[in-house]
Amino acid sequence: MLTVAITHRFGDFTLDVAFSAPAGVTAITGPSGAGKTSIINAVAGLFRPDAGEVRYGDEVLFGPGVWVPPHRRRFGYVFQDARLLPHLTVRQNLAYGAWFAGGAQELGAVVDMLGIAPLLSRRPAALSGGERQRVALGRALLARPRMLLMDEPLASLDAARKDEILPYLERVRDLGTPILYVTHAGDEVERLATSVVRVQGGRLAG
Amino acid sequence: MTDWLTAQEWTALMLSLRVAFWATVVSLPFGILAAHALARWSFPGKQVFNMIVHLPLILPPVVTGYLLLVTFGRRGYVGEWLYEVTGFTFAFRWTGAALAAAVMAFPLMVRAIRLSIEAVDTRLEAAAGTLGASPPWVFATVTLPLALPGVLAGAILAFAKAMGEFGATITFVANIPGETQTVPTAIYEALQVPGGEGPAFRLVVIAVIVAMGALLASEWVSRVVAARVQGR
């Protein structure tokens, strides 16, 4: 279980949240500018809050005098903008995280699950937005994360693309890896989430 | 090929190429490291470090040559020790010409590489980190490949600059045919004697061709490699 309790001041905006994310899909939801991305980045280790604690089970990832860098946190991160490495092919992108995790044995299974076999030899520049997001999903999974972090993975896609990706997200959810899912879209919360954390103005809302 | 250049001119050209090649190859790793430090790290004394890297660009080359002489000359602070311990010396050797050329070309090389490293999207580096890549791995597998066009362009520019280095070279290692006489110092020597315009002109043509070739090559490399790297 992931436990988060962090505070951070950004000028006149204060982020101050505490919650825990059990197994399943925990949605962090709220309007833009509520601090959702800062929260997920603090979990990933891409953002260092002023104070507080981030724990996964018994392991403290961030706390007084403790800072585990992102590459040792073993969280798979799916970004809104995919962030595939442009100089590598799809296959190399998929193998990238797997290599650091000790091997790409599951590559075939993940490729089949996400339906990206025809894309393997292409470069990210030659993919559509939906294809990129499927590859990013596969890349994060192949790094064998203990938890997946997703920051508005569907927000940059049109409605048709969204419907194309959602079934794959459900398949990933059903693999059993816990997911922390940032979104401002109610329909995604309804369809995917098993628990919900509502954020508004940097604080938890009702 | 060889008959329109005298033996001495031919020697000067080959020596220039050797000096510029080694100056570029040996300084490239340091140039990449310095550029990366300036682009991405914050550390105390960064502005001073930046200034020292750029100093050869602004100092009179004769001053840089003099500083190299008092540092790496046979009686220099470092040079004397180096000679006693290893028997190696830069003084009045082609290696000294390469050192002078490397120092003079270093700011150009670092600037080109620094710009290309700064242009690498830090969000991609962050993504690589979340996939398990430690900072050195991120540098080797993301930053450096994406900055490659600028690294190559910087290396080619440094090579061209090293081919043309004059002031620091002649001050540090003099103008000894066959050992430290490069194309620019050979042009200088030819112009010191009456009737030397002919030999000087041939070397001038060579210098212009090399410089323009290097500029074209660096333009071409940055475009072609950039397209390849981005998968376009």
Cα separation, B221 vs B215, in Å, equals: 10
- Residue A66 three-state SS: strand
Are B129 and A69 an interchain contact pair (Cβ–Cβ within 8 Å)? yes
Total tally of structural domains belonging to chain B: 1
Q: Which pLDDT band, with edges at 50, 70 and 90, does A59 fall under?
A: very high
Does a structural domain hold residue B1? Answer: no
Residue B189 lies in a domain: yes
Confidence of residue B148 (pLDDT cuts 50, 70, 90): very high
Do the beta carbons of residue A73 and residue A2 sit within 8 Å?
no
Mean pLDDT, range A16-28, rounded to an integer: 93
Residues of chain A with C-beta less than 8 angstroms from the C-beta of B229: 86-87
* Residue B113: band (very low, low, confident or very high) from pLDDT cuts 50, 70, 90: very high
Instruction: Classify residue B23: in a domain, yes or no.
Output: yes
Q: Per-residue pLDDT for B74 more than 90?
A: no
Residue B80 lies in a domain: yes
Sequence ranges of the domains in chain A: 2-204
The tens digit of pLDDT for each residue in A154-163 reads: 988 888 888 8
Residue in A with minimal Cα distance to B124: A83
Which CATH homologous superfamily contains domain A2-204?
P-loop containing nucleotide triphosphate hydrolases (3.40.50.300)
- Residue B2 within a domain: no
Tell whether B101 is covered by a domain.
yes
ipTM value for the complex: 0.92
Smallest Cβ–Cβ distance between B129 and the set A71, A79, A85 belongs to A71
Q: How far is B139 from chain A (nearest CA, A)?
A: 13
Q: What pairing do the DSSP bridges indicate for beta strands A51-56 and A203-204?
A: unpaired
In chain A, positions 143-172, which contact chain B (CB-CB < 8 Å)? 143, 149
Range of the domain at B123: 7-230
Q: How far apart are CA A96 and CA B82, in angstroms?
A: 45
Residue-level pLDDT at B15: 94
Size of interface A-B (CB pairs under 8 A): 74
φ, ψ (nearest 5 deg) of residue B164? -100, 0
Name the amino acid, one letter, at B9. E
| CATH assignment of the domain containing B189 | 1.10.3720.10
* Residue B119 predicted with pLDDT over 70: yes
- For chain B, what percent of residues have pLDDT higher than 70? 98
Q: Do B159 and B24 touch, CB atoms closer than 8 A?
A: yes
Q: Of B43-57, B95-109, B201-215, where does mean pLDDT reach its minimum? A: B201-215
Range scoring the smallest mean pLDDT among B37-51, B58-72, B97-111, B211-225: B211-225
Out of B130, B137, B142, the one facing A85 most closely (by C-beta) is B142
- Per CB-CB distance under 8 Å, the chain A contacts of B139 are none
Distance CA B107, CA B95 (A): 20
Q: Given A46, A97, A126, which is nearest B132 (Cβ)?
A: A97
pLDDT for the residue numbered A206: 67
The one-character DSSP state at A15 is: E
**Cα gap A149→A4, rounded to integer Å:** 14
Exposed, middle or buried, A113 (CB in 10 Å: 0-12/13-18/19+)? middle
